[in-house]
Structure 1
Amino acid sequence: MTDPSLNPILLSIAVVAMFALVWGGVRTFRAGERQKGVLMLVAALVLLGNLLIWSV
């Protein structure tokens, strides 16, 4: 179990990581490495799903 006072910090880190994955995925996709870009975008969607679950 984590300390409840850490929840906002952990959620903030996860949001920043999600945006970094989206940004990197789009850049990688445009650079021609389509499979890696799509995988990064899928990872961002999974992280978004986790964020929605954690925030409820």
Structure 2
Amino acid sequence: MSIILSIVMLGAFAMVGAAYLAWRQGLPKKRIGLLLLLALVMAVNVGIWTIPDAEGNTPFEKAE
């Protein structure tokens, strides 16, 4: 499971990099916005799985 979360975060960083490159090339703003939105969604999903609740448990620990 930790490998999957790591790959998702790497993908989020890649999306931010792709958005930067798209911005530098002058591609449409909609494409850049969608890349950044996807990166944000990926990062929030990893956060949901890894941030502990009030009892100190994470969904990541419960899944294992």
User: Normalising by the residue count of structure 1, what TM-score does the alignment of the two structures yield?
Assistant: 0.80
* Residue 47 (structure 2) pairs with residue 44 (structure 1): no
Hey, what does 1:4 align to over in structure 2?
none
User: Normalising by the residue count of structure 2, what TM-score does the alignment of the two structures yield?
Assistant: 0.71
* Residue 46 (structure 2) pairs with residue 54 (structure 1): no
Corresponding pairs, count: 50
Larger Rg: 2
CA RMSD of aligned residues (A): 0.9
Runs of 4+ in 1 over 6 A off after TM superposition: none
Unaligned runs of 5+ residues in structure 2 are 52-64
